[in-house]
């Protein structure tokens, strides 16, 4: 239980193009999904929090017009990096927080835990 | 300001050599402390959640403990497959826009276990 997938796992694009990354909770419903970015040998930095059906909440310093987040359902959130530039190259990771107080197959799990996807490596040329 | 500090930054162990990783935190009302394992190029894998001082949780060779100021991740008789970066994160009680659910991560401890 508690599987989160991301697609694509890696993407290379030209400067100025837009890239969409999908995050799905495969075996549970997620009230909230989170988007992080991680630079080499650094920890995760939260970019934004997204609740299904409402606007995302962005962390200070994160441009909401550049990083568009859509949380269309309880199992899907997307991050679109618009007009990507080389400085946007990074490892983007999503996480999902469960709706229910138990996740099937994960003994003792409570709703509070965040479960992470495998990440998407974005390289902007 | 909420902060998480992990030490050491990197740790090299021989197989079977037990040790502990430290996570010190300052937070205005701890809701939960989380440990994750991250392998290179992958997302973090959930290990434990601790909610109150004195709580302990175990999973295979790992044991996590919590006090009011810090948490330890004890690794007993580690194996090479335990090599990874271990991340600690805290979550505060207060409800600020997005803050209620927000995890604040430490920089991690890179563990290398050699045969």
- pLDDT tens track for B47-73: 999 988 999 999 999 999 999 999 999
DSSP state at residue A103: B
Q: Which residues of B touch A34 (CB under 8 A)?
A: 101-103
Of the candidates B30, B45, B60, which has an alpha carbon nearest to the alpha carbon of residue A118?
B45
pLDDT surpassing 60 at residue B75: yes
What residues are paired with A25 via a beta bridge? A4
Looking at residue B84, its pLDDT comes to: 97
Q: Residue A28's pLDDT is what?
A: 83
In angstroms, the Cα distances linking B110 to B52, B88, B91, B113 are 26, 12, 22, 10
- Which pLDDT score, from 0 to 100, does residue B99 have? 47
Q: Can you list the residues of chain A whose pLDDT is less than 50? A: 107-109
Give me the pLDDT at residue A105, please.
55
Region B12-39: mean pLDDT is 94
Residue A27 has, within 13 A of its CA and on its CB side, a CA count of 9
Give B33's contacts (C-beta < 8 A, 6+ positions apart).
B23, B25, B49, B50, B51, B66, B71, B88, B89, B90, B91
Measured between CA atoms, the residue of chain A closest to residue B41 is A119
Which candidate, B89, B104, B32, B102, places its Cα nearest to that of A50? B102
A18: tokens are 């837009």
Residues A119, B34: C-beta atoms closer than 8 Å: no
Residue A5 CA to residue A2 CA, distance in Å, equals: 10
Nearest CA in chain A to B31: A112
Which of A43, A49, A119 has the CB atom closest to B101's CB atom? A49
Residue bearing the bigger pLDDT, B95 or B84: B84
Q: Give the DSSP H/E element, type plus range, for residue B26.
A: strand B19-26
pLDDT value at residue A103: 52
């Amino acid at each position: 239980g508690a599987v989160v997938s991301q697609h694509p796992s890696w993407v290379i694009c030209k400067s100025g193009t837009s890239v969409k990354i999908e995050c799905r909770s495969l075996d549970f419903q997620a009230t909230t999904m989170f988007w992080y970015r991680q630079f080499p040998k650094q920890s995760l930095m939260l970019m934004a929090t997204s609740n299904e059906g409402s606007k995302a909440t962005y962390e200070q310093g994160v441009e909401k017009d550049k990083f568009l987040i859509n949380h269309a359902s309880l199992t899907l959130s997307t991050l679109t990096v618009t007009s990507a530039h080389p400085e946007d190259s990074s490892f983007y990771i999503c996480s999902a927080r469960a709706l229910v107080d138990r996740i099937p197959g994960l003994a003792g799990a409570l709703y509070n835990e965040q479960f992470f996807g495998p990440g998407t490596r974005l390289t902007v040329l | 300001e909420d902060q998480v500090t992990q030490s050491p930054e990197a740790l090299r162990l021989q197989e079977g050599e037990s040790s502990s990783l430290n996570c010190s935190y300052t937070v205005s009302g701890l809701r939960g402390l989380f440990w994750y394992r991250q392998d290179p190029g992958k997302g973090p894998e959930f290990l434990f959640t601790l909610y109150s001082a004195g709580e302990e949780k175990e999973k295979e060779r790992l044991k996590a403990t919590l006090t009011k100021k810090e948490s330890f991740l004890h690794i007993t008789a580690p194996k090479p497959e335990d090599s990874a970066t271990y991340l600690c994160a805290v979550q505060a009680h207060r409800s600020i826009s997005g803050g209620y659910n927000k995890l604040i991560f430490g920089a991690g401890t890179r563990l290398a276990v050699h045969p």
